[in-house]
Chain A
Amino acid sequence: MGIIKTENLTYVYGEGTPFRKVAVDNINLDIDEGEIVGIIGRTGSGKSTLIQHFNGLLKPTSGKVFIDGDELFADKSRLKEIRFKVGLVFQYPEYQLFEETVYKDIAFGPKNMGLSEDEIDRRVRETARLVGLKPEYLEKSPFELSGGQKRRAAIAGVMAMEPKVLILDEPTAGLDPRGRDRILGLIKEYHAEKGTTVLLVSHSMEDVAKTVSKILVMNNSKVFMYSDRSGVFAKAEELTSMGLTVPQVTRVFDRLRAAGIEFEDEVFSVEYAKDLVLRLLRERGQSLD
């Protein structure tokens, strides 16, 4: 069994009212430990509802959720303990900062876990380093930081809980390219250093293609597919028809294939595209010009 597993997970909003909506519909998933997974789907496809089940913020209408082998909601007294295994970073997390200092804000989660002062201190300093916040920022008010720094401080607040699974909902929304790259970079670093499972919810196919190893596509409250990157981008046409965009380079190479250039690969990053073009040219024993 993987780190996150669901069995026939279904969630219905507003049962018994005219606004009734099945937000996630009979979902069976099994995500392996240490994986870095992108979750994509258009607004309202159920991805936000799905991730809120993974740490017990929502209780399934029917079906089960297992975290690290433990069933959530099976034993209410253990809910909190299991919940701490899954860290959830919401959209625009900087809007939940509230403490007097950045240090205290990052320490909020670990404190709620009942850790010792020393352990809290270690974790705050370590995560601050991981997200690239200089030690002198720790004593500042979080409201004095710049937009990107606030975002990183808020993410650190969840990372400091050292969850086995870290889920981030649109962590790059509204940032400039530098801020975007920085956040994606630190997520990758965190994953490499800690080996933690990471789920990354995003609208941006470019971000997902650059960062993750597997992709979960949600459509109309159901899982459309769960596969590695090339498997998903091979279905570019279907993705487009469900209102998702594919990376620009993927579109270019799909058109090249349609126009009769022969290659097997699914292209989803600039790096890969470059290597492919060079290989194709070499295979033909052709000069580069």
Chain B
Amino acid sequence: MIKDITIGQFFPGKSIIHRLDPRIKLLLTVIYIVMLFTASGFTGLLAASLYMLAAFIISGIPIKMMLKSIKPILPIIIFTGILNLFFISSGDPLVEWHFIKITDDGVRTMIFMAARIILLICGTSLLTYTTSPITLTDAIERILSPLKVIKFPAHEIAMMMTIALRFIPTLIEETDKIMSAQKARGADMESGNLIHRAKALIPILIPLFVSAFRRAEELALAMECRCYHGGEGRTRLKQLKTAPRDYVAVVITLIFLAAVIVLNMFSPI
């Protein structure tokens, strides 16, 4: 059911990766992504995957979770793989049958692209596995806050993200409940054609909307009662402070990036 979604799941822990400043973690993720896209050959990707694997092991997140994070995007990997396999016609042909032609270049590109996507997902998953959503939101707010000068609503965006994160589980639970209730009244959501099924959603969507609005209204009231008046003059319980370990992590990551660039020169695919 809907409850099984693992994207954005957070695994509390005390590893050094968990304790890094979330802003730095965001920066590291960006450098890592740059690393993946500058790597033009397998040796470069190998360096990036070593980096990722090391980070995963240090974080103490079970490797199983890494595989689990890939599962939902498997169809995308397979789809792009097939496209690469069939539509790249350069290189030596391996198989030729009627209009189908598979070349060694095609196979290589397929593996390369798949590896790149997998590494990309693993890296970003590691970010969400080791950083609580609220800390992440906080980091985004602080990174964006210089933009407040040009009236960019950094605080408002972060507040919205926080509230969304807070209410997603509540609304999922509610959806389950409403579905059961309508099923008990004989609503049929599993059979019929597309239009029929779309119509069958009405008894679920309307109550869900009504409830979401009611919650929003009550929440707004509760926030007002607790003196909420936007981001102005707000302080925070948790202050973000960078520590030496944050700088060390940045340096290590930059070394890997440099390595990838150097390796590119020696292994052009």
A and B touch in the complex (CB under 8 A): yes
Measured CB to CB, the residues of A under 8 A from B are 52, 55, 57, 80, 83-84, 87-88, 90, 93, 95-98, 108-109, 112-113, 143, 157-158, 161
Measured CB to CB, the residues of B under 8 A from A are 177-178, 180-188, 202-203, 206-207, 210-211
**How many residue pairs, one in A and one in B, have C-beta atoms under 8 Å apart?**
51
9 new A-B contacts at CB < 8 Å, known A90-B181, A90-B184, A95-B207: A57-B180, A90-B180, A95-B210, A96-B203, A98-B206, A112-B185, A143-B210, A157-B185, A158-B184
The docked-state distance in angstroms from the alpha carbon of A108 to that of B199 is 13
**Neighbouring A residues of B188 by C-beta, 8 Å:** 80, 112
The reply to whether B207 and A96 contact each other, CB–CB distance below 8 Å, is: yes
The docked-state distance in angstroms from the alpha carbon of A161 to that of B211 is 25
Contact of B180 among A52, A157, A158 (CB under 8 A): A52
Give the interface SS of chain B, mostly helix, strand, loop or mixed: helix
**Neighbouring B residues of A161 by C-beta, 8 Å:** 185-186
A55, A80, A96, A112: residue with the most chain B Cβ atoms closer than 10 Å:
A96
Interchain residue pairs with CB less than 8 A apart (17): A57-B184, A80-B186, A80-B188, A83-B184, A88-B181, A90-B184, A96-B178, A96-B182, A97-B207, A108-B185, A108-B186, A109-B185, A109-B186, A143-B210, A157-B185, A158-B184, A158-B185
8 A-B pairs with least C-beta separation: A112-B186, A98-B206, A88-B184, A109-B185, A96-B181, A90-B181, A98-B203, A96-B207
The docked-state distance in angstroms from the alpha carbon of A23 to that of B210 is 31
Contact of B207 among A52, A98, A112, A158 (CB under 8 A): A98
The reply to whether B185 and A98 contact each other, CB–CB distance below 8 Å, is: no
Residue of A nearest to B209 (CB): A98
The reply to whether B187 and A112 contact each other, CB–CB distance below 8 Å, is: yes
The docked-state distance in angstroms from the alpha carbon of A97 to that of B204 is 9
The reply to whether A93 and B181 contact each other, CB–CB distance below 8 Å, is: yes
**Neighbouring B residues of A52 by C-beta, 8 Å:** 180
Determine how close the nearest CB of chain B comes to the CB of A175; give it in whole angstroms. Answer: 17
The docked-state distance in angstroms from the alpha carbon of A118 to that of B188 is 22
**Neighbouring A residues of B183 by C-beta, 8 Å:** 57
**Neighbouring B residues of A96 by C-beta, 8 Å:** 178, 181-182, 185, 203, 207
Residue of B nearest to A93 (CB): B181
The reply to whether A83 and B186 contact each other, CB–CB distance below 8 Å, is: yes
**Neighbouring B residues of A55 by C-beta, 8 Å:** 184
**Neighbouring B residues of A109 by C-beta, 8 Å:** 185-186
The docked-state distance in angstroms from the alpha carbon of A88 to that of B206 is 20
The docked-state distance in angstroms from the alpha carbon of A96 to that of B181 is 7
The docked-state distance in angstroms from the alpha carbon of A95 to that of B204 is 10
The reply to whether A84 and B186 contact each other, CB–CB distance below 8 Å, is: yes
Residue of B nearest to A157 (CB): B185
Determine how close the nearest CB of chain B comes to the CB of A120; give it in whole angstroms. Answer: 12
B187, B210, B211: residue with the most chain A Cβ atoms closer than 10 Å:
B210
Residue of A nearest to B202 (CB): A98
The reply to whether A95 and B178 contact each other, CB–CB distance below 8 Å, is: yes
**Neighbouring B residues of A143 by C-beta, 8 Å:** 210
Residue of A nearest to B186 (CB): A112
The reply to whether B211 and A95 contact each other, CB–CB distance below 8 Å, is: yes
**Neighbouring A residues of B187 by C-beta, 8 Å:** 108, 112
Residue of A nearest to B214 (CB): A95
The docked-state distance in angstroms from the alpha carbon of A109 to that of B211 is 21
**Neighbouring B residues of A158 by C-beta, 8 Å:** 184-185
The reply to whether B178 and A113 contact each other, CB–CB distance below 8 Å, is: no
A87, A98, A113: residue with the most chain B Cβ atoms closer than 10 Å:
A98
